[in-house]
Structure 1
Amino acid sequence: MLKTSVKKTFLTPIAALALMGISNQAIADIYIGAGAYQSETEGVPTNDDDEVSAFFLGYNFIDTNIFMFSVEGGYYDLGSFSGEAYGSNYKSEAEAYTVAGVAYLPVGPFLEVYAKAGVAFVEGETVINGDKHSDDGEEAFGGIGMSIDILDTLDIYAEYLVFDNEIESEIAGVGVRLAF
């Protein structure tokens, strides 16, 4: 499913994060997260949404009371859509492996707002009347979100992301983030 170059490109930041985990302080700055999202796309003729998932791993480079910055690698299912339109049967599905920078701004003792931007390595396929079309490529993506700090190590977040791929995917969802 994944092309070798995409695997290497995606796994390089993850390997770098793993190597940084040698000291206790570096381990304390690593986080993982997962969420449930609603996916919507503009590139296929449908009004359906799809429920999808996402997983990510990140590292906090800057963590102060006024600003935080991290880098994360993630996987986002962008959805699967099918149906009939304009006399054609179609099916479209896509997923993305991402590398992003995330800038956080605390707005209270338990609330943070953030912006996320980076590169998405998208793998997609659209089939119209049996003709397959690949939607693979490297595209920009970004979004905004907010998180509530439940404990020092557990956050609940909500975010909205836009992927600038051929089928113009948008996802919105909620999830949990666990810091070590």
Structure 2
Amino acid sequence: MLKKLLKKPFLAPIAALSMLTLSAPSFANIYIGAGAYKSETEGVPSNDDEEATAVFLGYNFVDSNVFMFSVEGGYYDLGSFSGSANGDDYESEAEAYTLAGVAYLPIGPFIELYGKVGMAMVEGETVINGEKYSDDGEEAFGGVGMSIDILDTVDIYAEYLVFDNEIESEMAGVGVRLAF
């Protein structure tokens, strides 16, 4: 019967498109997100927390009611700080490009806890009394968070991240994640 249906000229393209769609990877597992953070730098003496931003793109490989796992690439502005301490004037700024694994644990129909661990390519610069120091390098980073699922495609999240760079950057923030 299938052979008979495929001989119809209008059904052959529909069947081919259906087979292609079934064999192609699903875009429904892709998500993007952005957030606003407060960044603190332990290696730089400052009493102020700096506002910072982040954007990321991820792909969800495992999505079940018990466990979820995704891989995520992102950009994090780690903030810029300036001031003076011990007679020295300083300025410091850093940013990171990241690749991380994210493991989610649903704890109800709308709430998920997650952990994020990965590597960050950190680009930073510190100027002390006019002398520049580069803080570039690949470093580990990680964090924990919680998200609230709204309409199955929109998540509101809050997370805390630590970047193991020369200036020990820590970030806490909130944001939105959109699934496609």
TM-score by length of 2: 0.86
Q: Please name the residue that 1:73 is paired with.
A: 73
Written as runs of structure 1 = structure 2, the 5 A alignment for 1:19-168 is 26-168=26-168
Q: What's the offset of the Cα at 1:25?
A: 5.0
The number of residues matched between the two structures is 159
Q: What's the offset of the Cα at 1:47?
A: 1.5
Aligned to 2:26, what secondary structure does the other structure show?
helix
Q: What's the offset of the Cα at 1:24?
A: 6.3
1: CA distance between counterparts of 2:151 and 2:139?
35
Structure 1, gaps ≥5 residues long: 1-21
| Deviation readout 1:96-130 (Å, 9 max, x if unpaired) | 00000000000000000000000000000000000
| Deviation readout 1:137-175 (Å, 9 max, x if unpaired) | 000000000000011100000000000000000000000
Aligned to 1:121, what secondary structure does the other structure show?
strand
Structure 2, gaps ≥5 residues long: 1-21
1: CA distance between counterparts of 2:26 and 2:67?
18
1: CA distance between counterparts of 2:50 and 2:124?
15
| Deviation readout 1:54-111 (Å, 9 max, x if unpaired) | 0000000000000000000000000000001100100000000000000000000000
Q: What's the offset of the Cα at 1:45?
A: 1.0
Give the RMSD, CA atoms, in angstroms.
1.2
2: CA distance between counterparts of 1:135 and 1:114?
29
TM-score by length of 1: 0.86
Q: What's the offset of the Cα at 1:26?
A: 2.1
- Hey, which bits of structure 1, 4+ residues long, moved more than 6 A? none
2: CA distance between counterparts of 1:25 and 1:136?
36
Q: Please name the residue that 2:11 is paired with.
A: none
Q: Which amino acid aligns with 2:96?
A: A
| Deviation readout 1:16-69 (Å, 9 max, x if unpaired) | xxxxxx966520000000000000010111121000100000000000000000
